[in-house]
Amino acid sequence: MTRRYCQALDLSDDPRLIEEYQRYHQQIWPEITAHLRHYGITEMEIYRLGNRLMMVIETTDDFDRALFERRSLEDPKVCEWEALMWKYQRPTPWTPAGKKWVEMTRIFSLTEQK
CB 78 within 8 A of CB 37: no
Please name each of the domains of the chain with its CATH number.
Answer: 3-112 (3.30.70.1090)
pTM of structure: 0.92
Q: Which helix (H) or strand (E) holds 102?
A: strand 102-103
**Rounded to an integer, what is the distance from CA 12 to the centroid of its chain?**
16
Total Cβ atoms within 10 A of residue 55: 15
Planar angle of CA 70, 71, 75, nearest 5 degrees: 125
Residues 78-93 have pLDDT tens digits of 999 999 999 999 999 9
User: Would you place residue 61 in the very low, low, confident or very high pLDDT band (cuts 50, 70, 90)?
Assistant: very high
